[in-house]
Amino acid sequence: MSDRDGLYLHVSVAGSKTWHLAYRTNGEQRTYKIGPFPTIELDEARDTAHEKRKLIAAGIRLARERVTTAPV
């Protein structure tokens, strides 16, 4: 589950935690990997997500993104 802006924390089976940004562009669901928690804390993850949303709105394709089929 993500927040209203698409930010979420993925927890792997092994227990590692990684911040991600979920978004849609051109009708496709995509995710952007922000980085590991706790190295990147919530405030920094939110700031990064906000900056990436600006780029997405400007039509810029993000590096480290992945097309997914699961709804967010």
Q: Is the model's pLDDT at 71 over the cut of 60?
A: no
- Give the C-alpha separation, 11 to 14, whole Å: 8
Which parts of 1-72 are beta strand (E)?
7-11, 17-25, 28-37, 65-68
Q: Is the model's pLDDT at 21 over the cut of 50?
A: yes
Instruction: Output the pTM of the full model.
Output: 0.81
- Give the C-alpha separation, 40 to 64, whole Å: 16
The arrangement of secondary structure in 7-68, i.e. its CATH architecture, is: 2-Layer Sandwich (3.30)
Write out the two tokens for 28: 């496709």
- Give the C-alpha separation, 64 to 43, whole Å: 21
Query: Which DSSP letter does residue 60 get?
Result: P
